[in-house]
Amino acid sequence: MNPDSPLVDDLAPSPNHGDRRGKAVDSLVLHYTGMSTGAAALAQLRDPQSGVSCHYLVWEDGRISQLVPEALRAWHAGTSSWAGESDMNSVSIGIEIVNTGHDGGRPPYPPAQIAAVVELCRDICARNAIPRRRVLAHSDIAPGRKIDPGEWFPWGHLAAAGVGLWVPPAPIQPGPVSHRGDQGLEVDALQRDLQALGYFLPVNGVYSATTEDVVAAFQRHWRQALVDGAADVSTTETLRQMNSLAASGA
């Protein structure tokens, strides 16, 4: 195994991979490890019994390990979907970022680590022609099941460096709010807007638990100040602006 990126510091091959099933890479998915240490995460990602892996692991000090060649299908996404694609493992490159996550107290991502993530993402996206709108959180592609890399992950900082899409979130303010159990045309429009961005959910005008999970996933990435699964004015306006930006071809 040879490194795909000149930014790789070391190789730590994982046996957990397969072929891409004839599909081309078009997405980049970011995760946190959610374990007590990076060493424990690396051991799990390389354990043949674990059934999980990733292409890259970024340590707190910015070191980058490669586990699976980009040409192969790593097992990082699980049951997931985006923009009509239900086999995200086959079309994506997965980066695990060492962080203990929500259960570990939501520690901040160190500047050296984020700098390394930015450069690695820029390199991967350039070599694989991944558009900015396809740089995603694990929580985006598996709402309700995954919540990483978390609402404190600095997506705005990445976007300022050319990685992923971002608009300044609309301010939280008084106004109408849609919740689970609501029904009607406003809910239908919300679901259509979420689906247009790439989220998988039914469009039926019913604010179900699934819709709530998807709204929370959107907030966790793009309206991070309040993640509650309720579609307030801030959420719907930020979603509208994100769709406009994504439609521009970014």
Q: Which residues are catalytic?
A: 96
Cβ-based burial of 186 (10 A; exposed 0-12, middle 13-18, buried ≥19): middle
Residue 100 near residue 149, CB atoms below 8 Å: no
Asked if residues 93 and 39 have their Cβ atoms less than 8 Å apart, the reply is no
C-alpha closest to that of 164 among 245, 77, 94: 245
Tell me which H or E stretch contains 45: helix 38-46
Q: Residue 178: what are its φ and ψ, rounded to 5°?
A: -100, 135
Which H or E run includes 210?
Answer: helix 209-222
